[in-house]
């Protein structure tokens, strides 16, 4: 049918290097999620603060993150900030771009989740002598995280997939970057990227299975 | 501040990129939606067990980076099958399938949101499967699915920025080319970002409005 | 001692408390009755500072509730409040619900808070439910948990805001029994309630609120036996 000869050996030999790349990919994804969740909580507090300036900052952030391409956000972190004299490494640019995106999407979801928690909940906490912040931390936040858990899982998957965009700002340590460099050496494009695809797929499935296990342990109520 | 080397020709170049972004998006969203509805209805109709192969394949599109999907398709269709397709064709094919994978999920969710009792009622009135689908299921499922679908269409527009990898010069790639030439990254990126934002923001707001209005009754 | 002097409270243009004067001394059980919209529930939320007031003064043990300098979080530790809706924290077990405020607000150790929680839960008859999530309790049980949660802060005063109104009729009794128990132990309590029989039995004094005014206040025998205010007479006739 076709005379292309697959050379899977070529790709198979490169598996260790690609797995090293996968570790970097996971590292960026996890870091961007941890920081992204914390920032999203902060943005959520900003939007609840009643301060015009703070909620303005939060809303601008959320809308830019949701209404422009992730790749644009990474370009902004790399080329845009460079235009302002702040030169970030490819790794930093990628991390910053994905984190910005994560925080925006999660903050919007958190806002929806908060609507599902009645005002009487923090009020009950305050009537027990808790401060506003304590009521948020111990009563609202855990319930919010539960409601948002599926979205957090999805965003984690997105974060992994978004790491592939780092190559556009010169990142070459992550799974996609490593694959790209190997491709330049061997020209076995299909085999190499097919293998990268399989690795990405496995990572995503592990994340989804892990999230399922965590939700079963954590949310028994 | 607006002391810039940007010329009218450069703007034309950006506009052409923007046109390409819109073209690819429209093609992918249109055909992707048609395919997505077909996949979604089939999946719902034959049940989760028989639909497992479709579910599995569609899930792959949502589990590996779009960039890799594009590279793989380009390599497979070009180097392996030697079909001699243009990058633009490959981009449209991949984005269409990518869109259909997400759309099938939305369609299934929409159909599942229609209460079974309602469908039984319509069938008991003597409606055929097709009549039931057209007159009962579709209008109700659309209400549930439309806000998500709007989100998907906007998502595809943003994700279409990745087709640069198969040599299609869309808006973001045009911007990058100009950045390299003119060395004015901030201004150019702001123009590019504003374009996406000005399309996405109002449409997303409209989707949110629909969702709110329809979930209230 | 809770002293309420000429308190006025409005929600926008609507004045719900039109100058209330009332003193509740230590160990007293005061019940407040009246129709809906009489302002009786609002008074409770004003006493522990959940709602601001427009005029007048409320002092609890000499501390002015609505003074700027007052640390409300600290004051609220003295004043427990239980609402019509019990507001169980769904993500915490019954025991954790009760332990949360003592641990985070009073900075008690885990062991200390746990001992207190088990003690209070046993007290309200939930000793066998400590490790259950509130979602699996009946409304009456959740309301008793809410009472134990307030008691765990060792408050000097307890405010009860129609705590049986949202309950199925067959669950009202168990919650009222818990309130009776507290009253018999000498807890200072203000109970807003629709349960006339309960008001008659446990109160030292009963206050009748009508359209934002305290129309009558007297010991239960007098208030129920010989009501003087015409609105009260009408109200009592309607509830019988």
For A72-110, write each residue's pLDDT tens digit.
999 999 999 988 889 999 999 999 999 999 999 999 999
Gap between the Cα atoms of B149 and B134, Å rounded = 19
Give the distance from residue B156's alpha carbon to the nearest chain A alpha carbon, in angstroms.
9
The pLDDT value given to residue A21: 95
Instruction: Calculate the CA dihedral of residues C47, C53, C58, C62 and round it to 10 degrees.
Output: 100
Query: Over 90: is that where the pLDDT of A160 sits?
Result: yes
d(CA C47, CA B99): 58
Q: Which CATH number fits the domain that encloses residue B115?
A: 1.10.3720.10
Give this prediction's pTM.
Answer: 0.86
> Nearest CB to C87: which of A124, A129, A146?
A124
Q: Looking at chain A, which residue has its C-alpha nearest residue B69?
A: A197
pLDDT averaged over chain B?
90
| Interval C44-52 mean pLDDT | 90
CA separation for the pair A72, B160 (Å, rounded): 11
* Sequence-ordered list of residues with C-beta below 8 angstroms from that of B52, at least 6 positions apart, any chain: none
B129/B70 Cα distance (integer angstroms) = 38
Counted residue by residue, chain B has a size of 217
List the single residue in B71, B186, B200 with the smallest CB-CB distance to A193: B71
Contact in structure between B20 and B168 (CB atoms under 8 Å): yes
- At the fourth CATH level, which superfamily is domain A8-218? MetI-like (1.10.3720.10)
In the block, residue with structure tokens 């019509």: C84
Residue keyed to tokens 């969710």? B109
Pick from B134, B150, B142: which is nearest to B29 by CA?
B150
B130 within a domain of the structure (yes/no): yes
* pLDDT at residue B1 tops 60: no
Whether residues A176 and B65 touch (CB distance < 8 A) is answered with yes
Q: Which of A165-174, B28-37, B81-90, C89-98 has the lowest mean pLDDT?
A: B81-90
Q: How many domains does chain C have?
A: 1
- For residue B64, the 8-state DSSP code is S
Q: Greatest CA separation found in chain C?
A: 55
Confidence of residue A212 (pLDDT cuts 50, 70, 90): very high
Tokens matching residue C228:
């003087």
**ipTM (interface predicted TM):** 0.90
CA distance to partner chain B, nearest, from residue A129 (Å)? 36
Tokens 């009135």, residue? B125
* Among the listed residues B101, A167, B77, A128, the one whose alpha carbon sits nearest the alpha carbon of residue C152: A128
Q: Which residues of C touch A147 (CB under 8 A)?
A: none
Return the domain boundaries, chain A: 8-218
In a domain, B72, yes or no: yes
- The residue among B213 and C131 whose pLDDT is bigger is C131
Cβ within 8 Å, pair A127-C135: no
Q: Do A127 and C48 touch (CB under 8 A)?
A: yes
**Is the pLDDT reported for residue A1 higher than 80?**
no
Q: Is residue A220 predicted with pLDDT exceeding 80?
A: no
Using the Cα atoms of residue A119, residue A124, residue A127 and residue A131 in order, give the sign of their dihedral.
negative
- C167 pLDDT band (50/70/90 cuts)? confident
Instruction: Report whether A82 contacts B185 (CB < 8 A).
Output: yes
Residue C223 belongs to domain with CATH number: 3.40.50.300
The answer on pLDDT for C31 being more than 80 is: yes
Q: How many domains does chain B have?
A: 1
Per-residue pLDDT for B81 more than 90?
no
Q: Kind of pairing, strands C29-34 and C55-60?
A: unpaired
Report the half-sphere exposure of A111 (CA within 13 A, side-chain side): 19
Residue A6's nearest CA partner among A193, A132, A143, A198 is A193
Do C and A have ≥3 inter-chain CB pairs under 8 A? yes
Residues 6+ apart with CB under 8 A from A41: A110, A141
Six-digit token string for C78: 């003295």
Where in the sequence is the domain holding B110, given as residue range(s)?
8-215
Eight-state DSSP code of residue B3: -
C92-128 pLDDT, tens digit each: 999 999 999 999 999 999 999 999 999 999 989 999 9
**Neighbouring chains to C with at least 3 Cβ pairs closer than 8 Å:** A
pLDDT digits (tens, 9 = 90+) for A27-64: 999 999 999 999 999 999 999 888 999 999 999 999 99
Q: In the sheet where C55-60 sits, what is the strand order?
A: C14-24, C2-11, C55-60, C63-64
């Amino acid at each position: 049918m076709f005379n292309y000869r697959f050379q899977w050996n070529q790709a198979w030999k490169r598996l260790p290097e690609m797995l090293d790349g996968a570790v970097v990919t996971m590292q960026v994804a996890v870091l961007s999620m941890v920081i992204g969740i914390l920032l999203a909580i902060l943005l959520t507090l900003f939007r609840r603060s009643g301060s015009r300036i703070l909620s303005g900052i939060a809303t601008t952030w959320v809308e830019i993150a949701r209404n422009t391409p992730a790749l644009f956000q990474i370009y902004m972190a790399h080329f845009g900030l460079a235009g302002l004299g702040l030169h970030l490494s490819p790794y930093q640019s990628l991390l910053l771009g994905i984190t910005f995106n994560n925080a925006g999407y999660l903050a919007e979801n958190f806002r929806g989740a908060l609507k599902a928690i009645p005002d009487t909940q923090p009020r009950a906490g305050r009537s027990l002598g808790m401060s506003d912040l304590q009521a948020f931390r111990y009563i609202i936040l855990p319930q919010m995280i539960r409601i948002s858990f599926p979205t957090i899982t999805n965003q984690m998957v997105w974060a992994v997939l978004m790491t592939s965009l780092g190559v556009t700002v010169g990142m070459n340590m992550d799974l996609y970057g490593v694959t790209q460099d190997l491709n330049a050496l061997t020209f076995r494009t299909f085999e190499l990227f097919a293998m990268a695809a399989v690795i990405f797929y496995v990572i995503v499935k592990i994340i989804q299975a892990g999230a399922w296990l965590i939700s079963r342990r954590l949310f028994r109520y | 501040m607006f002391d810039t080397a940007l010329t009218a020709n450069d703007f034309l170049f950006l506009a052409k990129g923007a046109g390409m972004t819109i073209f690819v998006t429209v093609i992918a969203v249109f055909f992707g939606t048609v395919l997505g509805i077909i996949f979604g209805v089939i999946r719902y109709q034959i049940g989760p067990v028989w639909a497992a192969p479709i579910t599995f394949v569609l899930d792959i599109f949502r589990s590996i980076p779009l960039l890799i999907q594009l590279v793989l398709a380009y390599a497979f269709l070009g180097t392996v099958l030697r079909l001699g397709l243009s990058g633009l064709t490959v981009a449209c094919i991949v984005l269409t399938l990518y869109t259909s994978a997400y759309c099938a999920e939305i369609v299934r969710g929409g159909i599942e949101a229609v209460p079974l009792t309602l469908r039984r009622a319509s069938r008991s009135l003597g409606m055929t499967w097709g009549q039931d689908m057209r007159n009962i299921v579709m209008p109700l499922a659309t209400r549930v699915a439309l806000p998500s679908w709007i989100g998907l269409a906007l998502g595809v527009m943003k994700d279409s920025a990745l087709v640069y990898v198969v040599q299609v010069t869309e808006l973001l790639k045009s911007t990058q080319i100009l950045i390299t030439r003119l060395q004015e990254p901030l201004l150019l990126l702001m123009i590019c970002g504003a374009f996406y934002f000005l399309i996405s923001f109002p449409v997303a707001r409209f989707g949110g409005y629909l969702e709110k209005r329809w979930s209230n009754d | 001692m809770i002293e309420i002097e000429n308190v006025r409270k409005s929600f926008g243009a609507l004045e719900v408390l039109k100058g209330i004067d009332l003193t509740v001394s230590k160990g007293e059980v005061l019940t407040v009755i009246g129709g809906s919209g009489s302002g009786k529930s609002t008074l409770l939320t004003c006493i522990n500072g959940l709602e601001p007031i427009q005029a007048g003064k409320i002092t609890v043990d000499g501390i002015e509730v609505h003074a700027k300098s007052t640390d409300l979080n600290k004051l609220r530790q003295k004043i427990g409040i239980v609402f019509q809706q019990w507001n169980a924290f769904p993500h915490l077990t019954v025991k954790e619900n009760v332990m949360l405020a003592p641990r985070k607000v009073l900075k008690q150790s885990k062991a200390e808070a746990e001992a207190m929680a088990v003690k209070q839960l046993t007290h309200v008859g939930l000793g066998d439910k400590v490790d259950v999530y509130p979602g699996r309790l009946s409304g009456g049980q959740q309301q008793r948990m809410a009472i134990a949660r307030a008691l765990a802060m060792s408050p000097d005063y307890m405010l009860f805001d129609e705590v049986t109104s949202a309950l199925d009729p067959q669950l009202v009794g168990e919650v009222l029994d818990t309130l009776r128990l507290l009253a018999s132990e000498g807890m200072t309590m203000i109970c807003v309630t629709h349960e006339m029989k309960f008001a008659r039995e446990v109160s030292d004094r009963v206050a009748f609120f009508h359209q934002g005014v305290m129309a009558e206040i007297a010991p239960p025998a007098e208030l129920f036996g010989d009501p003087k205010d015409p609105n009260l007479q009408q109200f009592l006739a309607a509830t019988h």
